[in-house]
Amino acid sequence: MDEKQASAAHGRRSEFWRGVRDTLPLVIGAIPFGIIFGTLSTKAGLSVAGTMGMSLFVFAGSAQFIAMGLVGAGTAWPLIVLTTFVVNFRHLLYTATLLPDLKRLPRRWQILLAFGLTDETFAVAVGRWRQPDSNLHKHWYQFGSMLFMYANWNACTAIGLVAGRVLSDVGGWGLDFAMVAAFIGMVLPYLKDKPNYIAVLVAGASAVLFHGLPHQLGLIVAAIAGIVAGVVTETLMARGGISNASTVGEE
């Protein structure tokens, strides 16, 4: 291996482990979520193989919980597919955000990274892609993040399957609050300017207001409302219609 190849290999390894390291706090928040899914799945009527199959091949926490509930309620499979599609519609927004960076990659990389594009991985990867350095291995950062999340989610699903046979009422322990805390942690680093503050406030208020919509459509409405509010705020700031103060309390 010549010096150039060695440098490229070191760059890939460095980005991979950096992605793993930056995802660690979010993985910790996801651990109880995965265990609860594994614990409750068999009680909802899923087999052990079906539960692990969902985590291995679907790999979408919120969609898996919703699908599990619908299976337990005896819902027809077309409605299950439609509902999980609507819930995961936000991933189209994620993809649109990352498209300028990912479109230069080979198709195999695009497929791989698309499969592993969770909320947590998007939260850290978009920050890395937006950094101004000219590193050519940033996709390895995203790969490290997604692989860490994938291994954690499947391990926790397996732990939950075992725990569900040993412990009772794990779902009532309140462990799912860790996921709420993890999502708050994902949002806070991006609250650096007024458009982001407005987008988060509008999206949060809309999520509460439209929570009762069927098939989790309130999430989509909230996401779109937040995006529109952020874009409008940014446009008005560019035109001088809104102050450029970037943080709360700044004059």
* Structure-model confidence comparison of residues 72 and 247, the more confident one: 72
Q: Which amino acid is at 63?
A: A
Rounded (10°) CA dihedral 147, 152, 153, 156: 160
Residue 17: what pLDDT?
96
19, 128 contact by CB (below 8 A): yes
Q: Which of 15, 115, 16 has the alpha carbon at shortest distance from 60?
A: 115
Residue 94: what pLDDT?
86
Confidence band for 183, pLDDT divided at 50, 70 and 90: low
Q: What is the mean pLDDT of residues 121-141?
A: 91
Render pLDDT for 200-239 as a digit per residue (tens, 0 to 9).
Answer: 899 889 989 988 887 667 777 887 888 888 888 888 888 8
The yes-or-no verdict on residue 167 having pLDDT over 70 is: no
Residue 246: what pLDDT?
46
Render pLDDT for 44-85 as a digit per residue (tens, 0 to 9).
Answer: 788 999 999 999 999 988 888 878 877 877 878 887 887 777
The yes-or-no verdict on residue 32 having pLDDT over 50 is: yes
Alpha carbon 2 to its chain's center: 39
Question: How wide is the angle at C-alpha 220 spanned by C-alphas 215 and 105, nearest 5°?
Answer: 115
Residue 161 token pair: 């399957």
The answer for 240, left when phi > 0, alpha when psi is -120 to 50, beta otherwise, is left
The whole-angstrom separation of Cα 52 and Cα 192 is 39
The yes-or-no verdict on residue 146 having pLDDT over 60 is: yes
